[in-house]
Amino acid sequence: MSINISDVSFSYDAGPRVLEHFSLSPVPGSVTVICGASGSGKSTALQLINGLIPHFHKGELEGSVTVEGVDVSSAPITSSGKRCATVFQNPRTQFFTTEVSSELAFSGENYGIDPQEIERRSAQALKEVGIEDLASRALSALSGGQMQKVACAQACAQETPILLFDEPTSNLDPVAIDEFAQLLQRLKSAGKTTIIVEHRLYFLKDVADDVILVADGEISQRFSAEEFFRMEDSTRRDLGLRTLETPVFHPGSVPPVSKRGLHIARLRARYGSREVLDLKDIFFPAGQVTALVGPNGAGKTTLARTLCGLHPQEKGSAVLLDGVELNPKQRLRRSFLVMQDVHRQLFSDSAADEVGDPTLLAQVDLSEVAERHPQSLSGGQKQRLVIATALGRDTDVFFFDEPTSGVDYRHLVSISAQLRALAAKGKVVVVISHDPEFLAQCCDTAITLEPLTLHQPAEAAPTGDTSASSSLDSPAHYS
């Protein structure tokens, strides 16, 4: 279960150094947290351990990486899956099948494990993560948070001695985050060696053993968990880290329906024969930032997609903007959605071409990567790049779906300011998020969607960015 990264420097092909003299040897059976600014090299460190560097991501590698005594660079990458399992920052990129139970069985089948053993591992993993109800579901019909849970179950099903997690809570609701912390405790008790790359830190207070702070590709500070979580709040902010205490969001009351804003008089939507939305009298005021919250799978992303005209609405639906009813095509022209999976919104060969206006890159602190290919950026940088694209759009309604996944504290504050500036211009700004630290920074009011399962036949949703997994058969709850 030993991991030894010794004096590693790495740069992707023809690019700048991403890691500099990086060394890490976590204690076997411990939980190590790696934190630091977006783009500092945290995910790259995980890819050294699981063999994606240098076998998949090519570049210039100096130093050595051994896992359980095996030189990762010379061993075949197929052997890596027997030593460690990884939950990626974007779980969609690690799925190979179309259905949850098949996905959990995939690794074992590739290694020729006995079918009964695969079935046992899969059942145990579903139970560990608490998603037995998702076993027969299509992956394309899951919300982002549910996909993260499946990815965690997939990693557990491999029963490797080492587990690597890259931003595993970015799309999880608060209850699911607590459940994930409990899962980490169980893995630790079972003797697993665990490394977690995270921006959200508070939930790791009673789980972590060591914390590594990475800055510009180098380990700038090392802490025991006890030292780290005793850190003064001012020091934590100076280091650009998220809160170390459980964040709380206290939204104001939702204003009454008026002509200035987006009003859902009635909205119904379905996937095939499965009804997924049935809502009445929801109002998103212009000039304010409204949080759209609720548990994973409640239909928040589906609601945003339908309001933007990206998902069909049922007959009888009526949505008004500034008192005027608009059909889906009209709403599509007057709205912009920053998706949960921003990879779907990156089309150009450079960050500069993606946004067109260099001042927009400066607003989201991306000027230094202007000539980089968008897909070469870190998860947090991609998130900010699409937000910059949104800021350049002259439209009336903005939806931001989990805009702080993969984002550090400094950029969380910056994004909050940008959204408030949009609202100050009289725009309708709606934020879908499970991040109370972020919501407390930028949101004025909140609307909560509560799921209601109607036991309709499960059907796969389109492969677009959707959070529909259960139906809403009553007006939204206002909080």
CA–CA separation, 264 and 152 (whole Å): 36
Is 3-238's fold the same as 261-478's?
yes
Pick 3-238's CATH classification: 3.40.50.300, 3.40.50.620, 2.60.40.150, 3.40.50.720.
3.40.50.300
Distance CA 39, CA 380 (A): 7
Q: What does the pLDDT average to over 323-331?
A: 96
Nearest to 252 by CA among 477, 445, 430: 445
Q: How confident is the model at residue 100 (pLDDT cuts 50, 70, 90)?
A: very high
Task: Return the domain boundaries, the chain.
Answer: 3-238, 261-478
Q: Per mean pLDDT, which range of 43-52, 269-278, 293-302 is the poorest?
A: 269-278
Instruction: Output the average pLDDT for the chain.
Output: 90
Q: Is the pLDDT of residue 275 over 90?
A: no
453-464 tens-digit pLDDT: 533 444 433 333
Q: For Cα atoms 117, 121, 125, give the angle at the middle one, nearest 5 degrees.
A: 170
**Model pLDDT, residue 473:** 31
**CB of 38 within 8 A of CB of 380?**
yes
Buried b (16+ CB within 10 A) or exposed e, 170-203: bbbbbebbebbbebbeebbeeebbbbbbbbbbbb
CA 276, CA 369: separation in Å to the nearest integer? 40
* Average confidence (pLDDT) over 302-307: 95
Which residues lie across from 319 on neighbouring strands? 264
For 336-393, write each residue's pLDDT tens digit: 999 988 888 999 999 999 999 999 999 999 999 999 999 888 888 999 999 999 999 9
Assess whether pLDDT exceeds 60 at residue 173. yes
Structure tokens at 246: 């459980």
In this prediction, residue 93 has a pLDDT band, given cuts at 50, 70 and 90, of: confident
Strands 3-12 and 17-24: antiparallel
Classify domain 261-478 at the CATH topology level. Answer: Rossmann fold (3.40.50)
Contact between residue 383 and residue 342 where contact means Cβ atoms under 8 Å apart:
yes
Could you give the CA distance from residue 103 to residue 352 in angstroms, rounded to a whole number? 37
Counted residue by residue, the chain has a size of 479
Over range 116-132, report the average pLDDT.
96
CA distance 333 to 330: 5
Whether the model clears a pTM of 0.95, i.e. scores above it, the answer is: no
**pLDDT of 475 above 80:** no
What local confidence, expressed as pLDDT, does residue 455 receive?
A: 36
Q: How far apart are CA 267 and CA 279, in angstroms?
A: 5
pLDDT the model gives residue 389: 94
